[in-house]
Amino acid sequence: CGVFGVVGVSDAANFVALGLHALQHRGQEAGGIVTYAPEHGFSSARKFGYVRDTFTSQSVMETLPGSLGIGHVRYSTSGSKGPTQIRDVQPFFGEFSMGGAAIAHNGNITNAEALRRELIERGSIFQSSSDSECIIHLMARSLQRDIPSRMEDALRRVEGAFSVVAMTRTKLIGVRDPLGVRPLVLGRLGDGWVLSSETCALDIIGAEFVREIEPGEMVVITPDGKIESLRPFRPQRARFCIFEHVYFSRPDSIIGGRSVYETRRQIGVELAREAPVEADLVCPVPDSGTPAAIGFSQESGVPYAMGIVRNQYMGRTFIEPTEQIRNMGVRLKLNVNRALIRGKRVILVDDSVVRGTTSRKIKEMILDAGAAEVHFRIASPPTSWPCFYGVDTPQREKLLAATMSEEEMRQHLNVDSLRFISLDGLYRAVGESQGRNSECPQYCDACFSGEYPVEPSDQIEKGFQL
């Protein structure tokens, strides 16, 4: 998901809508905005679909007055299976004795089911099936006198990944979990302040990047522009999601002082060193494989070409929640550039193989177009474990790499060769020149290594085996 907030500007909702539009790649199912204006109180709008279709009409935007606002774009990773229900669309809102508050959450709470059971037992009435709603109910139970302190209380009970943007009548609040699994950055816009999942959303509104919210940090921003920085949690070593670098974030964002594009290009360079192959063309599976394919071509000297063309009017395949849509999606979204491919030995570069749906379809399409050889190079290690921290990987059994070796996957996909970047190669590409520190890894890489930095307790209770 993507989260965004702004304070101290006129017509906050317009900025929030633009910010969410720039974060659309983080969630395409639905979006929501909450604003506050003293004359109107809190206003909110929650809609299915793309931001550009839902938060552009004047009739919607004029219902969202105020100089303080937050928003969320949703990609369902927890809660309702199947299509998103409007009740699961954030921001969530709570009314407390000291006033209202709204929250938008990116990440996944790993003990949400246990918390929900406990809260329901004690009288909480849940409105949604989302893990994020726990935060509101925990805040309601806190005895603290102000909302930021209630949030601290609530978030100390929550485990897993959370980057939260919240607001009261007067304050904008940003928090990152102690490991800092999901991103969150602070920006400056005139006299106002901005919180955003990624820097690309600062660029779109002309805000200046100030710094990242640190893992375990909570910032409370008042309308007069003061920022208070708090440390509500026991300090821990940060474990940012390495897959944000590989796939999730936009390539024009800067994360941890590194350009996401440059990291991805470097992954391609590492891949070309680790797994070279003689071929005529390097083609990305667009868009997610493009920077790595550029790096692969630069390092190997094999010419880069657009062997597959992407229909720009389709969204991200993976983010479509059902298998059927995902299956169709590949062909609706990608097509082979036949004239270019015929008779050629082609290296295809993609960011990841999850279920194998994309790679299988693409291989068929490309052989159909008359390619002489197909070599897959994948810009992440085999995804053999599910993510429980906010990326919607399927159950373990459905992950190709969970049940097959690399050679079995190659046969299954029926390609001439298949190679994944090594975990150390990936770490080198994100700037860790010594590779992965296996004693205390610098990132979360659980979907590749099976080493979960936060115990996924709800899942273990349901029988998931580490």
The catalytic residue positions are 1
Listed in sequence order, the residues at least 6 apart from 446 whose beta carbon sits closer than 8 Å to its beta carbon are: 385, 387, 388, 389, 452, 453
Q: Rule CB under 5 A: is residue 288 a binding residue for Mg ion?
A: yes
Q: How far is the CB of 11 from ligand SF4 (least distance, A)?
A: 35
Determine the Cα–Cα distance for residues 89 and 31; give it in Å rounded to an integer.
Answer: 7
C-alpha neighbours within 13 Å on the C-beta side of residue 157 = 21
Determine the Cα–Cα distance for residues 90 and 166; give it in Å rounded to an integer.
Answer: 11
Q: How far is the CB of 322 from ligand 5GP (least distance, A)?
A: 13
Indicate which single residue of 61, 115, 181, 430 sits in contact with ligand SF4 (rule: CB under 6 A): 181
Considering beta carbons, is residue 241 or 378 the nearer one to ligand SF4? 241
200 annotated ligand binder: no
The residue number whose beta carbon is nearest to ligand 5GP equals: 318
Q: Rule CB under 6 A: is residue 13 a binding residue for ligand SF4?
A: no
The residue number whose beta carbon is nearest to Mg ion equals: 288
Span of 55-63, 227-235, 287-295, 390-398 interacting with Mg ion by CB under 5 A: 287-295
Task: Write out the binding residues for ligand SF4, residues 360-399 only, by CB under 6 A.
Answer: 387, 389, 391
Torsion of CA 297, 300, 302, 305, to 10 degrees: -10
Report which secondary-structure segment, H or E, holds 136. Answer: helix 133-141
Q: Are 391 and 77 in contact (CB under 8 A)?
A: yes
241 annotated ligand binder: yes
Q: How far is the CB of 359 from ligand 5GP (least distance, A)?
A: 6
Determine the Cα–Cα distance for residues 77 and 75; give it in Å rounded to an integer.
Answer: 6
283 annotated ligand binder: no
Indicate which single residue of 70, 89, 362, 447 sits in contact with ligand SF4 (rule: CB under 6 A): 447
Q: Are 452 and 466 in contact (CB under 8 A)?
A: yes
Span of 116-124, 202-210, 353-361, 445-453 interacting with ligand SF4 by CB under 6 A: 445-453
280 annotated ligand binder: no
Listed in sequence order, the residues at least 6 apart from 134 whose beta carbon sits closer than 8 Å to its beta carbon are: 109, 112, 115, 116, 119, 154, 158
11 annotated ligand binder: no
Chain residues in the site for ligand 5GP (CB under 6 A): 247, 285, 288, 316-318, 350-359, 383, 391-393
Taking CA atoms, 315 is separated from 23, 312, 337, 352, in Å, by 13, 8, 20, 17
Q: How far is the CB of 358 from Mg ion (least distance, A)?
A: 6
Binding site for Mg ion (CB under 5 A): 288
